[in-house]
């Protein structure tokens, strides 16, 4: 798992993929159960961010292999990679929305 964490870490220039942190004053006021849920959601977001990095690398390899891969196959693989990234983006957004609900007063 350490290799995966290092190989697929989100680069500094990809701030949109960074997992947002809760500010300290808000975190200190949260219930223990909500902190636990938030930590799990942050873990999921981090995994999704690493999947984005993996998909970007797949796309890069595909684009650099245009002379070796038949055009139809290349188009299919790129479409699947892009669809995968779209689905991941929706999941990332949904997790952020669910996490924000933890901070709203009851």
Taking alpha carbons only, the member of 37, 45, 55, 39 closest to residue 16 is: 45
Q: Are 10 and 18 in contact (CB under 8 A)?
A: yes
The pTM (predicted TM-score) of the whole model is: 0.81
| Cβ-proximal residues to 12 (8 Å cutoff; 6+ apart), any chain | none
- The full DSSP string for 17-84 is GSPPPPPHHHHHHS-HHHHHHHHHHHHHHHHHHHHHHHHHHHHHHHHHTTTTS-HHHHHHHHHHHHHH
Q: Each residue of 62-100: pLDDT tens digit?
A: 999 999 999 999 999 999 999 999 999 999 999 988 888
């Amino acid at each position: 798992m350490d290799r995966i964490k290092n190989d697929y870490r989100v680069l500094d220039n990809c701030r949109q993929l960074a997992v947002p942190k809760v500010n300290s004053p808000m975190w200190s006021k949260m219930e223990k159960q909500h902190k636990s849920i938030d930590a799990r959601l942050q873990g999921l977001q981090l995994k999704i961010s690493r999947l984005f990095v993996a998909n970007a690398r797949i796309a890069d390899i595909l684009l650099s292999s245009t002379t070796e891969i038949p055009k139809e196959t290349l188009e299919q693989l790129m479409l699947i990679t892009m669809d995968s990234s779209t689905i991941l983006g929706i999941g990332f957004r949904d997790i952020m929305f669910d996490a924000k609900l933890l901070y709203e007063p009851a």
